[in-house]
Amino acid sequence: MTTYYLTTPIYYVTAKPHLGHAYTTIIGDALARWHRLLGDDVHFLTGTDEHGQKVQDYADAAGKSAQDFVDEIAPLYEQAWQRLNISNDDFIRTTETRHKLGVAELLQRCYDAGDIELDVYKGKYCVACEEYYTDDELDPGDLCKIHKRPVEYYEEENYFFRLSRFEQRLLDWYAAHPGVIIPEFRANEALGLIRGGLRDFSVSRTSLKWGIPLPWDAKHVAYVWFDALANYITAIGFGSDDTTEFDKWWPARHLIGKDIIRHHCVYWPAMLISAGIEPPAGWAVGGWLLSGGEKMSKTSGNVVNPLDLIDDIGVDGFRYYVLAETTYGQDGDFTYEGLIGRYNSDLANNLGNLLSRVATVVDKKCGGIGPAPRADSPLATAAATAYEATAEGWVTVQPSRALDATWQLIRATNAYLESNEPWKAEPGPAVDTVMGDALEALRIVAILASPAVPATSQIVWERIGLSGDINDQRLPVAAQWGGYPGGLSVTKGEPLFPRR
């Protein structure tokens, strides 16, 4: 069985979960669900990033200890993901013991390899990025380009990770692993960073207490990025006595935002190579979800709380919008009008309407019992094409294309009904044939749409009379034309997506 280990970034606990965080998490969830349908052995990880200066500053401002502060915020992420029907197999918090042990082990291995050394650092540091910058990387007035806030001048004795030694090794590794970073233009960005020359980066702080101590020099705590990146291996048991899980799952596929390419595609593989661990199996790099033209973030004050939106259009309405609206890799713009527009057109008018029409006609003309499809239905080709293109969309991490392909089958089925007008015909074999075909198309649609709208897909499944958990279906067999057996009770029920 193929193993598929997928990770999201771990989110800073300085802010409550917002749409920007939900974006990557929902994409990860849909991918994990798709791969489970393919029969892969899936492990989907998300979590929270809880150490570092920024968290300490927020805790101070709130008048709380750092531990109390993170203990209040981290559960908000777990709750938000439950509410959004995220099927993560694990949730890692960087304040957990398993993580601390693994980070210590990773640091020690890089230190023993001679790639971590003591030096003095003087430089300009953006606390929000947790990153040192050179003058040419800053905006005038020493402002961080991302946060538009002044950087701070730091001077301290630090341990450094000798990233400069890894330039050629990284280039060679990437050359030997084409296509590991998608989309391709993001791969070029990562390679550009490496070709532009690599500077050693500091991996410890003495000024900070809120972090994991270096195992050989406890005056220092680990730099938050070194700590954070390690979550991908500590969560599966790296640093513990039992390496079964690690051996089973590693290497991972990482979903990241474009702002953290340097850390994930440059620092992280170098750290792993130094520690004698294989680099990741892949990276999919997303753009930002913008709101009013700016990255949605707490600092910009344009945060949309995903949980508020669910109240308006339901969990699946929200998931669908996030997945269908933007091209993965590019930035996307969030608008409330866009959200409602998509909901009404794709969910209420297309999917919802198809199910309700089919159920109504089966009720009136087929005595409520769904007929079987015919083998040579004109919809069979549409279904085969939809499956191929949907699969291609998910495997290339292009959710909007995958969903568009699935929705082509919905549109084709609606068009098929409109041209046959079974609602006008007398009950009999002709109506049965058309309705059997439509029910079979709905069965396939329900499976293909389930990574995006899992609860809705299960409802469609049951309304057309099928039993069991739709998640137990296995592709590609389940998408083959002819699986609807006929003779099942079809129920009309409430509208799936009432118009907004």
User: Rule CB under 6 A: which residues touch ligand MSP?
Assistant: 9-12, 20-21, 23-24, 49, 228-229, 231, 256-257, 259-260, 288-289, 295-297
Question: Parallel, antiparallel, or unpaired: how do β-strands 289-291 and 294-295 relate?
Answer: antiparallel
Residue 100 appears among annotated catalytic residues: no
Nearest CB to ligand MSP, comparing residues 29 and 432: 29
d(CA 443, CA 453): 14
- Sheet containing strand 201-202, edge to edge, reads 131-133, 116-126, 152-161, 201-202
To ligand MSP, the closest distance from the beta carbon of 144 in angstroms equals 13
Q: Pick the catalytic residue from 18, 43, 99, 254.
A: 18
- Considering 110, 129, 265, 366, which one is annotated as catalytic? 129
Pair of tokens at residue 6: 């997928």
- Does the annotation mark 110 as catalytic? no
Calpha distance 133→27 (Å, rounded): 31
Strand pairing category for 369-370 and 488-489? antiparallel
Q: Is the CB of 40 or the CB of 57 nearer to ligand MSP?
A: 57
- What is the closest distance, in whole angstroms, from the C-beta atom of residue 254 to ligand MSP in the complex? 8
CB of 87 to ligand MSP, least distance (A): 19
126 included as an active-site residue: yes
Calpha distance 254→268 (Å, rounded)? 11
Helix H segments across 140-183? 167-176
| Residue nearer to ligand MSP on the CB measure, 10 or 466 | 10
Active site residue 129: yes
Min dist CB 53 to ligand MSP, Å, is 13
Structure-block tokens of residue 498: 């009432």
- Cα gap 165→285, rounded to integer Å: 25
Name the catalytic one among 16, 64, 147, 177: 147
Compare residues 159 and 334 and give the one whose CB is closer to ligand MSP: 334
**Of the listed 126, 220, 254, 366, which one is catalytic?**
126
Instruction: Establish whether 99 is a catalytic residue.
Output: no
> Does the active-site annotation cover 298?
yes
> Least distance (Å) from ligand MSP to the CB of residue 473?
31
Q: Are 31 and 97 in contact (CB under 8 A)?
A: no
462, 414, 419, 456: which is closest to 438 by C-alpha? 414
Of 12 and 407, which has the nearer Cβ to ligand MSP? 12
The verdict on whether 147 is a catalytic residue reads yes
Residue nearest to ligand MSP (CB): 257
- Give the three-class secondary structure for 294: strand
Positions marked active-site: 18, 21, 126, 129, 144, 147, 295, 298
